[in-house]
Structure 1
Amino acid sequence: MNTTADGILVEQLKAGDRAASAALYQQYFPMVAIYVQQNSGNQADAEDIFQETLLVLLQQIQKPGFVLSSSLKTFVYAIARNLWCKRLRDNRVFLPGDDAIPEESCTAELFPEKPATDNINGWLDRITYNCKRILKALFFYQQPMALLARRMGWKNKHTADNQKYKCLQQLRKVATQR
């Protein structure tokens, strides 16, 4: 599920671009800091773990044949979580009253729900066939609105925009239903 932005950032990191490192820090350090601080750490621990995370990330992306098979956010989080759990085990730092490392802090997932693609495909299955075709053409296949308007036989841009809006509303309604 590698996005284009993630791919560009990875390539910039491979090239040693300092701006890419700064962007990575700005985007992902808060997430790592929250995780570490919620699991017996402090701000200094979070900074240390994030620095180690960056080192591991850089080592991994420099390997020949490296392929980012998840989002960069998930990959960074997994590295940080593993490093923090290792530090807890190595230093035998436990939560008050616990006689072992809290298992949930080392096995908790960033996104415990189904992957977003499962949700989106499920939502698309629950909207009309016509809307499903329109939204897939626009967002999955990146077709220009003018081409889609011609293929669908719409008379003008206003009609095309109106159809897109109606389909997005239909998708939102399905997505918010439980």
Structure 2
Amino acid sequence: MSNLEEEKLILKGLAENDKQAIETIYRSNYAMIQAFILNNSGSQDDARDIFQEAMIVLYEKARTESFELSSQIKTYIYSVCRRLWLKRLSQMQRFSGHLEHIEESVPVEEDIESHEKKNADFILMETAMSKIGEPCKSLLDAYYIQKKHMQEIAADFGYTNADNAKTQKYKCLMRLKKLFFAQYKNGQ
């Protein structure tokens, strides 16, 4: 199923008040909106409010038969949230300067492109991690995710000392980089 078909199904689900469609939109977009609001003088509560307002706008649009989404859902939500937030900032008089110059400080397309690129890179890294195998996967997880010390890793994995564990971690990291960049090259 293509991305466009998938997005149309999600919109149809939203129009029919389908819980799974609503959750999909929320999971795929809320973090981006929260980051935008927090980086532009807002709070967690502001992010929730603005996102909820944008969901209502999208829901009402999706229910009209004439509505045809000409962009990705995430682009539409980002655009609506951005407008709502700028309007709120203007009303609260927190924003110093003129709204005409807002494009200079909040470049929408660059933010979305950057966000999409990071997501693609994370997916590539997940795939590389799944291919790296054991014990490398567990060792890198212990060091980078669980933040364990080398002495603890050496004991857990049966290495004679922390230096041997560090050497193995380095070899695993080089293997992971090789897998990641091989995928990255093939994807370009």
Residue 77 of structure 1 corresponds to 78
AA of the residue aligned to 1:40: S
- Contact 2:61-2:67 at 8 Å conserved across structures: yes
Cα deviations across residues 14-56 of structure 1 (Å, max 9, x unaligned)?
1111221122111111010000000010111000000001011
Percent identity, aligned pairs only, is 31
Alpha-carbon spacing, 1:71–1:2, altered in 2? closer, same or farther (3 Å): farther
TM-score (norm 1): 0.57
Residue 108 of structure 1 corresponds to 108
AA of the residue aligned to 1:36: I
Residue 52 of structure 1 corresponds to 53
Give the structure with the larger helix fraction.
Answer: 2
Residue 30 of structure 1 corresponds to 31
Alpha-carbon distance in structure 1 between the residues aligned to 2:12 and 2:91: 33
Corresponding position: 1:18 with 2:19: yes
User: Where has structure 1 moved over 3 Å in runs of 4 or more?
Assistant: 98-102, 104-108, 110-113, 171-175
AA of the residue aligned to 2:35: I
Alpha-carbon distance in structure 1 between the residues aligned to 2:3 and 2:29: 16
Alpha-carbon spacing, 1:3–1:86, altered in 2? closer, same or farther (3 Å): same
What number of residue pairs does the alignment pair up? 119
Alpha-carbon spacing, 1:105–1:64, altered in 2? closer, same or farther (3 Å): farther
Cα deviations across residues 117-165 of structure 1 (Å, max 9, x unaligned)?
xxxxxxxxxxxxxxxxxxxxxxxxxxxxxxxxxxxxxxxxxxxxxxxxx
Superposed CA RMSD: 2.9
Alpha-carbon distance in structure 2 between the residues aligned to 1:5 and 1:111: 19
Structure 1 unmatched runs, 5+: 117-168
- Contact 1:49-1:84 at 8 Å conserved across structures: yes
Alpha-carbon distance in structure 2 between the residues aligned to 1:46 and 1:106: 16
Alpha-carbon spacing, 1:18–1:112, altered in 2? closer, same or farther (3 Å): closer
- Contact 1:13-1:58 at 8 Å conserved across structures: yes
- Contact 2:37-2:43 at 8 Å conserved across structures: yes
1:99 Cα deviation after fit? 4.2
SS of the residue corresponding to residue 75 of structure 1 reads helix
AA of the residue aligned to 2:63: Q
AA of the residue aligned to 1:108: V
AA of the residue aligned to 1:88: L
Alpha-carbon distance in structure 1 between the residues aligned to 2:53 and 2:81: 8
Higher relative contact order (CA 8 A, sep 6+): 1
